[in-house]
Structure 1
């Protein structure tokens, strides 16, 4: 027995924010000094590195749990199940519900509990809880669902990844242009046929790497230093990802019993176009192979980096034929992979 994804849903916020919308931002260096070049140059360099042209932000009346509820409704409908039959709701996020105009996190009750409430599930044996695992949170939630189902503790789980990163960014930090909002949800059940999860890998690197992503003060010295925003050491993350993600993917694929030529798609966390491309090239290089055409669907150009939501949202878009020049077929082998705060790395091989 193994697990498979029987339902998928996503919610992509309607508010579109283009790169040009950051033209009036006062971007500063870490020490508070201004850049030596205009925003036009900053935005141009940003586009060339990340591939991001626009991103989506939640509406003012929406928080992460609202986006998650909408994605979950779609996943439940897609699976054709009664929500009362869910044994677990596993909600991966990083910052809780953050209302506009404040970056204070609200996580009581848990966001998973809020989604259960919004879904009007009355069954008390449907256990709802949150996990904090950085951007790889949704994949880790799937791995936890796998453990519950294979151990006999559950038959059916709802695994969600949702975030509103636009609420925790420093407007004076050019990295703020990376982040976006969104939600993806999946129904996970047991599989007795050839489809489903074949192998997985998960790891936390917490020595020198623990602080690569962190909560820090604004680059503007006039802003209250006690108010914190998402910050990162981009170069260190890039180097970490290139060293560790391909290796984790290779170990995962080797453990599945399949070969590199069996892989039809790689769904990787939409963090940075150049970084994702470098990871895939490094992965194929481990097998002495060139990267096949159309192996890596991308959504970051239009949707930005929505953290835990990127991978399930990408999967939903792919299976619904919403990504140009990309399609998936029954029996295709997919590698799901992610990297993020922790530093955490995980992956699983899946037969669709």
Structure 2
């Protein structure tokens, strides 16, 4: 028998405030057409004043637990991917743990920017496979609107806030690609590219800072590296692109999503796309898209799902899941 980390529940939360592209036309030199043509984004959600990353994460976690038919104290571990922590410390995960009323187990953050959720999934899978946990709540949550330089027309229009969550539960499998659960993962990072996407603040400056990005260079790396990591993860699982039911990519840019799908030879009608409604929600984008994909009736039990993401670091990776 092989222990598998099987998805038992999924949920998401989006702040109430919806910001259409037209809102940016009032303050910077841009237009709805310019934003749509370059990114595919039409609108995004922004957190309310005083609404924190842990608030969003808690709402998504509750939705995932309800979907799984579990309560907080059924959970052994909570892994939260975010780059917009409420505080330097304690971890946002422990704050969500407290908000949920989870009185047992342990919680910790993972920080790999937009690749954070695939890193968190891989860590959660390792906890389950090694026997350190039976049930793990995995969350991606961000309030990237707090990091924007609102005078920068190239970045401020791209990002949004939100949260998504999965509940993973240990189950016995046969050790074949037909098993339900996480079948493989593939993770990478290369710090020599740190200047392509970063926030110019932290303990070195004593400020929160703003997001800075070399968009053309990030785009070039993204399509190549995302397709490569997805193929590598599929190969580890003994599968190929032809076996894929759904690609659920990091929702950063529609052109990147299309380019990656083309390289993988997977048609766009087998790609879950939410970027038009959410913008780039960093570590929250994949769990948000998984939850929306299930809600739409796209992702069904038994489907083979490939998630892939790239973010600052550069950090990138993919996870193959039999839903």
Q: TM-score, normalised by structure 1?
A: 0.85
Highest CA radius of gyration, 1 or 2?
Answer: 1
Kept after mapping to 1: 8 A contact 2:261/2:268: no
**Residue in 2 that maps onto 1:310:** 285
One of 8, 13, 24 as aligned partner of 1:6: 8
**Residue in 2 that maps onto 1:333:** 304
CA-CA distance at 1:303 after TM superposition: 1.1
In the TM superposition, structure 1's runs of 4+ consecutive aligned residues that sit over 3 Å from their partners are none
One of 192, 200, 203 as aligned partner of 2:185: 200
1:39 to 1:141, Cα distance in 2 relative to 1, 3 A: closer
Q: Which has the higher helix share?
A: 2
Kept after mapping to 1: 8 A contact 2:35/2:42: no
Q: Is 1:345 aligned with 2:319?
A: no
Q: TM-score, normalised by structure 2?
A: 0.92
One of 144, 150, 158 as aligned partner of 1:171: 150
CA-CA distance at 1:62 after TM superposition: 0.9
Kept after mapping to 1: 8 A contact 2:258/2:268: no
- Provide the C-alpha distance between the structure 2 equivalents of 1:107 and 1:88, rounded to a whole number of angstroms: 21
**Residue in 1 that maps onto 2:197:** 213
1:39 to 1:151, Cα distance in 2 relative to 1, 3 A: closer
Q: Is 1:232 aligned with 2:203?
A: no
- Provide the C-alpha distance between the structure 2 equivalents of 1:309 and 1:226, rounded to a whole number of angstroms: 24
CA-CA distance at 1:328 after TM superposition: 2.4
| Cα RMSD, aligned residues only | 1.8
Kept after mapping to 1: 8 A contact 2:241/2:264: no
Kept after mapping to 1: 8 A contact 2:114/2:311: yes
Structure 2: tracts of 5 or more residues without a match? 174-178
- Provide the C-alpha distance between the structure 1 equivalents of 2:197 and 2:268, rounded to a whole number of angstroms: 32
Kept after mapping to 2: 8 A contact 1:142/1:188: no
CA-CA distance at 1:58 after TM superposition: 1.1
**Residue in 2 that maps onto 1:18:** 20
Structure-to-structure mapping, 1:30-179, within 5 angstroms: 38-40=29-31, 43-97=32-86, 106-123=87-104, 126-174=105-153, 175-179=155-159
- Provide the C-alpha distance between the structure 2 equivalents of 1:243 and 1:147, rounded to a whole number of angstroms: 27
CA-CA distance at 1:255 after TM superposition: 1.6
**Residue in 2 that maps onto 1:184:** 164
Kept after mapping to 2: 8 A contact 1:252/1:348: yes
SS across alignment from 1:190 = strand
SS across alignment from 1:278 = helix
Kept after mapping to 2: 8 A contact 1:91/1:161: yes
**Residue in 1 that maps onto 2:256:** 275
- Provide the C-alpha distance between the structure 2 equivalents of 1:307 and 1:256, rounded to a whole number of angstroms: 26
